[in-house]
Amino acid sequence: MTPDAETLNPTVKAGILVDALPYIRRFWGQIVVVKYGGNALGASQNGARATLASFAQDIVLMSSVGMRPLVVHGGGPQIGELMARLGKVPEFRHGLRVTDAETLDIARMVLVGKVNRDIVSAINVHAPIAVGVSGEDAGLIGATQRDPDLGFVGDVTHVNPEILERLLAQNLIPVIATIGSDEEGQAYNINADTAAGAVAEAVGAAKLVYLTDVEGIRRDRADPSTLISSITLDELDGLVADGTVSEGMIPKVVSCLRAVRAGVPQAHILDGRAVHALLLEIFTNEGYGTMVSR
Amino acid sequence: MTPDAETLNPTVKAGILVDALPYIRRFWGQIVVVKYGGNALGASQNGARATLASFAQDIVLMSSVGMRPLVVHGGGPQIGELMARLGKVPEFRHGLRVTDAETLDIARMVLVGKVNRDIVSAINVHAPIAVGVSGEDAGLIGATQRDPDLGFVGDVTHVNPEILERLLAQNLIPVIATIGSDEEGQAYNINADTAAGAVAEAVGAAKLVYLTDVEGIRRDRADPSTLISSITLDELDGLVADGTVSEGMIPKVVSCLRAVRAGVPQAHILDGRAVHALLLEIFTNEGYGTMVSR
Amino acid sequence: MTPDAETLNPTVKAGILVDALPYIRRFWGQIVVVKYGGNALGASQNGARATLASFAQDIVLMSSVGMRPLVVHGGGPQIGELMARLGKVPEFRHGLRVTDAETLDIARMVLVGKVNRDIVSAINVHAPIAVGVSGEDAGLIGATQRDPDLGFVGDVTHVNPEILERLLAQNLIPVIATIGSDEEGQAYNINADTAAGAVAEAVGAAKLVYLTDVEGIRRDRADPSTLISSITLDELDGLVADGTVSEGMIPKVVSCLRAVRAGVPQAHILDGRAVHALLLEIFTNEGYGTMVSR
Amino acid sequence: MTPDAETLNPTVKAGILVDALPYIRRFWGQIVVVKYGGNALGASQNGARATLASFAQDIVLMSSVGMRPLVVHGGGPQIGELMARLGKVPEFRHGLRVTDAETLDIARMVLVGKVNRDIVSAINVHAPIAVGVSGEDAGLIGATQRDPDLGFVGDVTHVNPEILERLLAQNLIPVIATIGSDEEGQAYNINADTAAGAVAEAVGAAKLVYLTDVEGIRRDRADPSTLISSITLDELDGLVADGTVSEGMIPKVVSCLRAVRAGVPQAHILDGRAVHALLLEIFTNEGYGTMVSR
Amino acid sequence: MTPDAETLNPTVKAGILVDALPYIRRFWGQIVVVKYGGNALGASQNGARATLASFAQDIVLMSSVGMRPLVVHGGGPQIGELMARLGKVPEFRHGLRVTDAETLDIARMVLVGKVNRDIVSAINVHAPIAVGVSGEDAGLIGATQRDPDLGFVGDVTHVNPEILERLLAQNLIPVIATIGSDEEGQAYNINADTAAGAVAEAVGAAKLVYLTDVEGIRRDRADPSTLISSITLDELDGLVADGTVSEGMIPKVVSCLRAVRAGVPQAHILDGRAVHALLLEIFTNEGYGTMVSR
Amino acid sequence: MTPDAETLNPTVKAGILVDALPYIRRFWGQIVVVKYGGNALGASQNGARATLASFAQDIVLMSSVGMRPLVVHGGGPQIGELMARLGKVPEFRHGLRVTDAETLDIARMVLVGKVNRDIVSAINVHAPIAVGVSGEDAGLIGATQRDPDLGFVGDVTHVNPEILERLLAQNLIPVIATIGSDEEGQAYNINADTAAGAVAEAVGAAKLVYLTDVEGIRRDRADPSTLISSITLDELDGLVADGTVSEGMIPKVVSCLRAVRAGVPQAHILDGRAVHALLLEIFTNEGYGTMVSR
C-alpha cells in the first residue's frame, strides 16, 4: 500500500522538506525558463485541465520560495483546431505549411487570446502574479521572415529582455506567447521551443526546462529503461549525429545545446504530463527526465 | 487655399507650439485614460488602418511629452464577425444576448488576441513602449456575474491598479482588453465603456476620453450646430433624464458622470474617426468634442 | 517498516512539498521569534549536539524560504555548571538566588561567550548568516533592577528593535543573549522567556515559538493524551487560574498571553528535543505542540 | 494675409505638433547649453524685455517637454554702462582692456547681480525652476590668469559640473554667470562664449546653441542669401582660415569647433533677436541659423 | 603670558576637544541659520577681511562636523556706498527711505553680485561647498509690497525651502541674499533680519544665530556687566515692552521671539566682530552672547 | 601652573578647535581600525576602568565627527586569569602553549563574553552605537589550524568584511573579538594584532592604530629620547633586521608593515595607557607615538 502524505511519519516528512533545502537555496533569485507545450493542453479537456492546474501550482511554488519562473508556450494543436473550425485548408509549399495573413491572425488569436489566457488564469487562481506577454510587447522578440514562400513564419533575430526584467523585478511571472515582430511592426509566428531557448539566454536563466509529452531522451528510443538522466553537450551532439534523437525532439534538443553553450548552466527535457514533474525535478535529489549540462 | 504646415510663417508655427505649452505642463506626469472603441477599427480596412495609425501617433506624442496615457478598448464588431465565420448563432434570453463558454472563448481570442494586438503593434511601430494587458492579468479587473441567464457577462466589482502603476512607472503604455475574472479565476466579458471609467477612477486619472463615432453630445440630436463643448454634471443629468442623450451614448455618458463624481476632473466624448482628434483636444485652446466636468 | 524518504513514491513527495506551499506563502517576509532553551543544550553532549544541529537546519530552512527567523536563548544550566567549577556558592536572599557582580560576569561569559557562540556556529555551518547579539548591543534590551536584594537581576523596560531590524533587513539571523542594560550602562541578567516575548512584540513578529522540554500544555498534567493543540487567550487564562499550568511553564505561558494580547498573532510551545519540531510546526497541516491565539 | 494660429485648419495645427514629435523624443533627458549674449538684452529696454520674455518662454517649453536646458550668459554692454556711470575710465595695456580689482567688482555685480537676476526672474515668472549660479559656486569654473598685465581676466582651466548635475537632476535650470576662480579663491572675468563651450563639453550636452545678433554664418559676409544652414568641422575650419568668418564671430566659431571635436554632437549659431528662434531651431524640420556638426 | 595652543599641555588640549563632543553630537545633521550682517563687512577693509575669513572658517568647521549651516546676509552699508558713488540721492517719504526701480537694481547688484559673492568665495577657499542663492531663485522668498509710497520694499509672505533642502541634502552651504519676488516676478528688497527668522522657521532650524556688532542684550544698556547670557520669551517680551531693548536691536529681537515661538529651539545674538564667536558659542560650555529660548 | 580648560583664553580654545578642522575633514567617512590590547584592561581594576572610559570617549568622538572607527581587541591576561581560577594548567608542546578544546571554550567565553562586552558597554554609555562581533559571525574571520600540536590556534586565511560594512553603513561601531572559524565551523583562537591588520586591509582602512603599553618605537630601546615619530617601510624593515625592534613588538610591527604594503596609508603604535592618546594622535598637529607609512 502506498503511504499517504497525511499518515506519514513526521520524521519522513521533515526529511523531504530538509532535502529540498539546498535546492531552494541554490535557485534563490534565479530565473528558470519553462517551455510549456501546446500538447500538454490537448487531448481530453479534463485531463488537460488537471495537468495545467498541477503545472500552475508548481510555478507558484517556485515563485513562493524565491525563484523567478518565466513561462514560454506554444499552441500548435489549438491553432489547427480553430483553423479547421473556420474551414481554413492548410496550404503547403515545398512540403512546408504556409502561414498567410489570415493564418497568422488565427495563430495570434489562439496563442495570445486563448492558450496564454488559460495559463495565466490557472496561475492567478493562487495569487494575482501572472502577466500575459506577447513577443510583440515592448519589442520583446525581434523576428525576420524565414522564407517568403512560407509567409509569416519568423526566425528570432534578438530578444530584448527589458520588459521581462521589469516584470520579474516586481515579482510577477511573465507568460510569453511566441509571436515576434520585425522593425516595421509586422508580426510573425515563431517556433516556441526556439523562442524559449533564446529567452533563457537573454535573461541569463539558471535553468531551461522543456515540458513535453515524452519522459526524456533515451539511448535506445524503443527501450524505456535507457532513459538518460544526465548528459554532456558532446555526448548529446553524438546522439543527434547518429540519429538517436527522434525527429520531434530536434528543435528542443538543438535549443538545449545552444542555450547551454551560450551560458545557461542546465537544460532539462521532462514529461509535462506527469503530475508535479517540474516540482520533483527541481526540489528532489533524484531529479526527473534528462538534464543537459557542460 | 488651405495653408500647409511646411510653408507657414515661422511665427505662426512658434505660436502653435507656445499655445501647447500650458497643456503640456498641466498634464505632465498625469494619467489620461483613453477608451478606443471597436467601431473605430471597423468599416473598410484601409480607413480603419489610417485611423488607428493616427490614434497611435497621438498616444505616442502624449507619452513623449510626459503624460502617461492608458488605453482601454472593446471589440464588439470584431467578435460578431468571428462568431459569424464560426457559424455560431447568437442566442437570446429575455431579449439579451447570452455569452456561453464558447462565446466567451471567442470574445477573449478576438479582444486579447486580435484587437489588443493590433493597437499594441500600431503604437510599437514608433517605439517599443506599449504592452498588452488583459483585465485578468495580475487581478486587474475583478468581476461578478451579472445574471446567470446571460452566462459569462460580468460587472466590474473592483479594479486593482497595481499592475498598471508598475507599467506606468516604467514609462510603458498599458493597452487593456476588458476581460475580467472572479475569485475562482472564471473569466467574464466586460463592457469596455464601463471598464474605462472604473480604471480611470482606480488610477486617479486626470482625464478620461471616449473616442467614439459621433462628434460629441448635442442639445438637439438632429442638429449638428447644437454640439455642446462643455457641460456640468447637473446639466448632463438633465439631458439623460429628458431623453436627449441617445441610447448608444448611455453607457459612455453614465461612465463619464460616475468617473467625474468619483474625482476624475474631466471626461470627454470625441469623434475618434477625425484625424488627430485626441491631439487637438488635449493640446489646443479650443478643445474638441464635449467635455464633462464639475 | 517506516517508509524512507529516498524510496517514497514521487507523488507523495510532491504532495508534501505542495502542502507546505501555503505556509511558505503566508509567512513570506514575516518575522518568527524562536526561544531556544538552555535545557535543550544540556544532558549528554552528543544528544545536545544533534538537537542543536537539527534546530540550526530548521532555522536556515525558514530563512531560505523567505521567513525572517530571530533566535532568543537562555543558558541556566550552563551558567550553573561554570559557577560550580569556579567554586562559587550560590547565595540566597528571601529564598531567591542572588546575582552579584561576579555571578553576572559569569552569566555574561557563558551566555554571550559560550551558548550564543554555539548556536551561531551551528547555523553558520550552512551559510554565514547568523550574527550573535547581546541585549546590551546598540541599546537592544533596556532593563531595570528588579530588587536590590537580588543584585543584578533585571526586568525588561523596553526593547529597541533598531539593531534587529537592520540585521533582518540584511537577511541576517540575529541570535540574542538576554543580557540587558540600564541607562548608566549597568548590565543585568534577564529571564529569557520574558525577553523573547518582549522582542516578539517589539519587532511585530508573526509567530513566537518556545522550544522547551515538554511537548506542550496538557489539560491534565499527568495525561499525555490531553495535550492541547490550540487554545484561546481566555481558555489559557483559565488554566493558569485553576493551577493546571505547571510552575516551570508559568513564565512561558505568561509571555505567550502577553505577546498575543500585544498583537503577535500566534504563540507556540513545542518540545524542542524532537527532531525538526520547528519545521513540522511551521510547514505542515497538523502543526505540533500547543498554539495560543486570540 | 498671414494665417493666424487661432483660425488655422485643425489638421494643419495637428501637423505642426506631430512634426515636433521626433525632436521632442530625440532630446528627451538631453542637456542643451544655450549661450545668451549680453547684446540681446541691450538697446531699447522694451525691445530687450520682449526678447528676454520670448527666450524665457522657449527655455521653459524645452524644460516642459523633458529637455534639460542650461543657460550661460555674458553682459559686456551692461558692464560698460555701469563703469561709465561710475566714471571709471577704461585702461588699456598693449591695446587690450585691463580688468583691475574695481573693474572686476563691477563686472561681478553686473553679471551676477543684474543680468543673471533678470534672466532667472524672466524664467521664474512661468514656474520656480531657474537658479542663478556663478562660476565661483561650488568650484564650477576653474580659472587662471591670462596675462598679469590684463589684471583679472581669466582662462578656463577646467569645469567641475557637479553642482550643475545636482541642479539638473532636480529638474532645475541653472543660469550661469561666467566668473571663474582659481585655487586661492581669486575671481576672474571669463569670456562667456568660451565658458559656454567648456560647460557643454563638461556636462555632455547634446546641443550647444549660441544666440547672437547675426542670423548665422554666411559664405559671403555681405550676402544674406549665402547663409549656411549646416556645415562640417572641416568646412568651417576652411572658412576661418580664409578669413570668411568675421572677427566678432571668432570666439563663438572656435568654441563651436572645439565643443563638437570634444563630443558635443551639434553646435548652432542663431539670431537671438528673432522671436522664438530657439524654439523653431529645436522643434521644426527646417531648423534655424547655422548648425555645426561632424 | 597667554598660553599658546602649540605649547599647551596635551591633557588640556584633549579636554577642550572632549568638551566639544556633546555639542557636535547634539547638532549632528541639524540646520543652523546664521544671519551675517553687512556691518561686519564694513569699516576698514583689512579688519573686515579678517572677520570674514574667521567667519568662513567657523562655517566650514560646522559643516565638517556634520551640522548643516545656512547663511543669510544683508548689505545696507555696501548699498549706500554704491548709491553714493553713482550720485544717487536717497529719497524719503513719510520719513522713510524710498526704494525706486533704480535703487532696487543697485541693491540687487550689491547684495547678489558683491556681498553674497564675497561670502561664498571666503567659504570656498576651504572647499567648494558654498552656493550663492538669491531669494528670487526657485521661488525661495515670496514677497509683497509693504507700502506703495516706499517703492520696492517687500515683506516676506512665505518661504519655499525646497531649493535650500535640495542644496543641504547635497552637503552644500546655501548663502542667501534677501531679495524676494511676488507672483508676477517683481523683485523686492527684504529686511535680512526678518528673512533670516522666516528661513529658520521654514527649514526647521535647530538654532538661529544673529552675528551683529554688539555683544548681546544687556539689562542696562549702558552697563556691559549686565549682559544677559540666557533669557526666556516672556522675559524678553518684558524688555521690549519697557524699552530696554534698543532701537537697532528691535528687528533682531522680534525675529528671535517669532522664530522661537514658531518652534526654533534657540536663537542667539552675538558679536560677530569677535574672532571665532560663532565657534565658541556652539562648541563650548560657556556659550557666547545672549541666548533666547522657551 | 598648568592652565585649565575652563579658564583658558577663548582665542586659545578656538585655536585648538580650528587646528582640529583639517583632520576632521581628512578622515570624514574614513574607516580607522583600532587594536585595543588586553593589557590596557589589566592591572588595578580602577586604573583599567579609567583607561577604558577615556578610550571609549575617544572612539565616540571619532564617530561623532564622521569617522568610522572599528575596534579589534585581544584578552590574553584575562584568559590566563580565568584558566588559573578554573585550575587549568597550561600545557606546552615544543615550547609553545597548547589550546585544547576546553582552553578554546574558556578563551571564547572571556573574549566574547567578557572583554568584548566591557568595551561595548563602555562605548554604549554615550550612545547605543557599539555592536559586539565575533570573528565567527557571518563568516567574518576565516581561519586554518596553525599546527595540530598546538590545538585550536588559527591563522587568518581571509577576512569577509561584509558584516562590518553593513554595520558601518548603519553608523554602528563594530567591536571584534578575534575568534575565527574554518569551513566546518570549527573555532580557533587568533592573534589579535595579526587580525587587526587583516581587518584593516579588508575594509580599506585609512589608518590602523595599535594601542599598546609602550610609547612607540625607539631607535635605542633603552633611551626614551630616541622615540621615532614617523618612519618609512624600508627604515622599519631595517630596525627589524638589526634586532632593534623588541620581541613583544614583532607581531605589531609585522602587521603594520604588511598592512601599509597592502594599501593602508598609515599605521600607528601608541601608548594606550595615556589618557586620550588616540584623540591627540588623530586631531592634533603633533601626533603621538610612532607612525609607519610609505
- pLDDT value for B43: 45
The answer to whether position D14 is within a domain reads no
The answer to whether position D8 is within a domain reads no
Please give the share of chain C, as a percent, with pLDDT higher than 90.
45
CB contact under 8 A, F5 and E21: no
Q: What is the ipTM of this complex?
A: 0.80
Report E:114-143 residues touching F (Cβ under 8 A): 127
The answer to whether position D138 is within a domain reads yes
CB contact under 8 A, D14 and B60: no
Task: For residue D102, give the 3-state DSSP assignment.
Answer: helix
- pLDDT value for C203: 96
For the cut 60, the answer to whether the pLDDT of residue E46 exceeds it is no
Grid coordinates given for F195: 587580525
Report how far apart, in Å, the C-alpha atoms of F255 and of each of B16, F35, F205 are: 74, 11, 14
Average pLDDT over residues A176-196: 91
pLDDT for F195-230, tens place per residue?
Answer: 999 999 999 999 999 998 888 898 888 888 899 989
What residue numbers bound the domain in which A240 lies?
27-293
Q: For D147-294, list the strands marked E by DSSP.
A: 153-159, 173-177, 179-181, 187-190, 207-212, 230-232, 266-271, 290-293
- pLDDT value for B41: 67
Which distant-in-sequence residues (6+ apart) come within 8 Å of C123 by Cβ?
C56, C59, C60, C129, C130, C173, C175
pLDDT for C40-78, tens place per residue?
Answer: 665 445 566 778 888 998 999 888 888 899 999 998 889
For the cut 50, the answer to whether the pLDDT of residue F1 exceeds it is no
Q: Which parts of chain D register pLDDT below 50?
A: 1-3, 43-44
Give the Cα separation of D132 and E108 in Å (integer): 13
- pLDDT value for B3: 44
Nearest chain F Cα distance for residue C249, angstroms: 29
Task: Tell me the pLDDT band of C291, cut-offs 50, 70 and 90.
Answer: very high
Contact of D64 with chain B, judged by CB distance below 8 Å, is answered with: yes
- pLDDT value for F133: 92
Task: Tell me the pLDDT band of C3, cut-offs 50, 70 and 90.
Answer: very low
Task: For residue B291, give the 3-state DSSP assignment.
Answer: strand
Grid coordinates given for D78: 551692461
- pLDDT value for C1: 31
Q: What is the pTM of this model?
A: 0.69
With contact defined as beta carbons under 8 Å apart, do A195 and A156 qualify?
yes
Of B6, B12, B65, the CB nearest to D24: B65
Average pLDDT over residues B147-163: 92
Report A:87-116 residues touching B (Cβ under 8 A): 105, 108-114, 116
- pLDDT value for D14: 80
CB contact under 8 A, F163 and C131: yes
CB contact under 8 A, F130 and C137: yes
CB contact under 8 A, A11 and C61: no
Domain CATH for C206 = 3.40.1160.10
Q: Which of A174-183, B145-154, E22-31, E111-120 is predicted least confidently?
A: E22-31
Q: Cell match 620581541: residue?
A: F247
Grid coordinates given for D17: 505638433
| Among chain B residues, CA nearest to A78 | B109
- pLDDT value for D37: 82
CB contact under 8 A, C132 and F122: no
For the cut 90, the answer to whether the pLDDT of residue E161 exceeds it is yes
Of D125, D132, D138, the CB nearest to E129: D138
Q: Which residues of E touch F12 (CB under 8 A)?
A: 2-5, 8
Nearest chain A Cα distance for residue B117, angstroms: 8
The answer to whether position A56 is within a domain reads yes
Average pLDDT over residues B245-259: 86
Give the Cα separation of D291 and D209 in Å (integer): 9
- pLDDT value for D223: 87
For the cut 80, the answer to whether the pLDDT of residue C180 exceeds it is yes
CB contact under 8 A, A64 and C28: yes
- pLDDT value for A2: 38
For the cut 70, the answer to whether the pLDDT of residue E256 exceeds it is yes
Of A5, A18, A66, the CB nearest to C66: A66
pLDDT for C73-122, tens place per residue?
Answer: 998 889 989 999 998 888 877 766 789 999 999 999 999 999 999 999 88
pLDDT for D150-197, tens place per residue?
Answer: 999 999 999 999 889 988 988 899 999 999 998 887 899 999 999 999
Of D6, D16, D25, the CB nearest to B64: D25
pLDDT for B58-86, tens place per residue?
Answer: 999 888 888 899 999 998 889 988 999 99
Average pLDDT over residues E27-45: 78
- pLDDT value for A133: 92
Report how far apart, in Å, the C-alpha atoms of D245 and of each of D57, D221, D251, D252, D269 are: 31, 8, 10, 10, 12
Report how far apart, in Å, the C-alpha atoms of D90 and of each of D87, D96, F170 are: 9, 10, 60
Grid coordinates given for D174: 541653472
Average pLDDT, chain E: 86
**Residue among C134, C141, C183, C189 with most chain F CBs within 10 A, to mutate:** C134
DSSP C98: -
- pLDDT value for B59: 94
CB contact under 8 A, B181 and A121: yes
- pLDDT value for D8: 67
Chain F: touching chains (3 or more CB pairs < 8 Å) = C, E
The answer to whether position B187 is within a domain reads yes
CB contact under 8 A, D138 and E116: no
Q: Which of B22, B28, B61, B31 is nearest to B264 (CA)?
A: B31
Average pLDDT over residues E149-166: 92
Q: Which residues of E touch F61 (CB under 8 A)?
A: 17-18, 21, 24
Residue C238 CA from chain centroid, whole number = 24
pLDDT for B23-45, tens place per residue?
Answer: 877 888 899 999 998 776 654 45
Please give the share of chain C, as a percent, with pLDDT higher than 70.
93
Average pLDDT over residues F7-24: 76
The answer to whether position A123 is within a domain reads yes
Contact of E185 with chain D, judged by CB distance below 8 Å, is answered with: yes
With contact defined as beta carbons under 8 Å apart, do A274 and C11 qualify?
no
Average pLDDT, chain B: 86
Task: Tell me the pLDDT band of C34, cut-offs 50, 70 and 90.
Answer: very high
* Total count of residues recorded for chain E: 294
pLDDT for F141-183, tens place per residue?
Answer: 999 999 998 999 999 999 999 889 988 988 899 999 999 998 8
Task: Tell me the pLDDT band of E174, cut-offs 50, 70 and 90.
Answer: very high
- pLDDT value for C8: 67
Q: Which residues of A touch B88 (CB under 8 A)?
A: none
The answer to whether position A102 is within a domain reads yes
Q: How many domains does chain F have?
A: 1
The answer to whether position C2 is within a domain reads no
For the cut 90, the answer to whether the pLDDT of residue A200 exceeds it is yes
Average pLDDT, chain A: 86
Task: Tell me the pLDDT band of E43, cut-offs 50, 70 and 90.
Answer: very low
Provide the 10 A C-beta neighbour count for residue E42.
18
- pLDDT value for D271: 87
Strand partners, C141: C159
* Total count of residues recorded for chain A: 294
Chain D: touching chains (3 or more CB pairs < 8 Å) = B, E
